[in-house]
Amino acid sequence: MSIFYLEMQNKSLKINEIEEFDQKRWDEFVLNHKASSPYHLFAWKKAIEVAYGHKCIYLCAESNEGIHGILPMAYLHFPGIINEIVGLPFCDVGNCLAESGQAQDLLLSEAIIFFKKKGIKRLQLRGDLISTQNVRLQLQSIETGKVRMLLNLPASSEELFNSFKSKLRSQVRKAKKNRVRFKWGGLDEFDRAYHVFSKNMHELGSPVHSKSFLKAILYSYGERSKLGIAEYNSKIIGMGIILLGGNGVSIPWASTLREYNRLGPNMLLYWNFLKFSVDNNYTFFDFGRSSEGEGTYKFKKQWGAKQTPLVWYELNESGNHIKIKNQNKNNQRRWIAAIWQRIPLKLANGIGPYLRKYISL
């Protein structure tokens, strides 16, 4: 990578590519930045590289005083089909975090030089940026058609539970009355939990993330990840993974077996994730992205989550502005999902992960 320098308030900033031995410094910056997410942590990089083999490029702007900005990216490449840089793939946010617009622009300039030098077809950054002239001139905001659902957490789980509408409180209690049990799981129970996840993704018509990727997430994040399990008669009928950041908790994946949904395992899972977050002094819970008005949106909203725009940016290979409307292309997606649902589960679980590693959403 080329090296940029910037004199800023008597600080000489330079851009370096972070190596594994810099993980502690990287994570300290992330955990102390107000706009960070758990996906910005170095563990996301390690899981992607170990499980999927994608090259990750993690840049930092630093001076003798320490790190002043970071830009995490992953390079997804499949000859003739996929050739893109995403910051970051497989999540909603993974944008540049910086203390100033100058540090941010220095990082973005380095990324764009790499983009053009390698002849990459797309550069996508997920998350808001400081509005500078460099951003306005070189990047185009994307109309994702999605919103991010965030819940600000109160001081106690009791206060949170009492803030719910009576119907929601009854649904949580119903799961317990139906003898659905929540517990925190370990890697020894992961295979059974993954079966629930893979079956649910197949029913949704989507290729599933590989077992090795989710395991790598739990292993890389260590104490900053939790596997939650809903059991009924000793059978796992629901699962979810939460990741712990500096001030917030994110939930990238949760699934239940449809034939048991009448028992309310999803309500018990989410209540326990929220309770854990409050009891451990986190200030917000990130439910992830949704399309306004759809089922997942309504599910998240009932817990009190508020929508905020999901802002992404993109640059095409010519460097010109682009505008994408309705990125999800709903009609095409429904058609593909319908085909995928007809593939036998065992076959879908076999070939799905090979496709999913190149689908950055």
Low-confidence ranges of the chain (pLDDT < 50): 1-5, 8-10, 321, 327-328
Calpha distance 121→315 (Å, rounded): 9
pLDDT digits (tens, 9 = 90+) for 235-266: 999 999 999 999 999 999 999 999 999 999 99
pLDDT digits (tens, 9 = 90+) for 275-316: 999 999 999 999 999 999 899 999 999 999 999 999 999 986
pLDDT digits (tens, 9 = 90+) for 118-146: 889 999 999 999 999 988 888 988 888 89
| Average pLDDT over all residues of the chain | 92
Q: Which helix (H) or strand (E) holds 291?
A: none
State residue 322's pLDDT score.
Answer: 52
The residues with which 307 forms a beta bridge, in sequence order, are: 149
State residue 317's pLDDT score.
Answer: 55
Contacts 24+ apart (CB under 8 A), 319-323: 319/112, 319/116, 319/138, 321/140, 322/140, 323/140, 323/143
State residue 2's pLDDT score.
Answer: 46
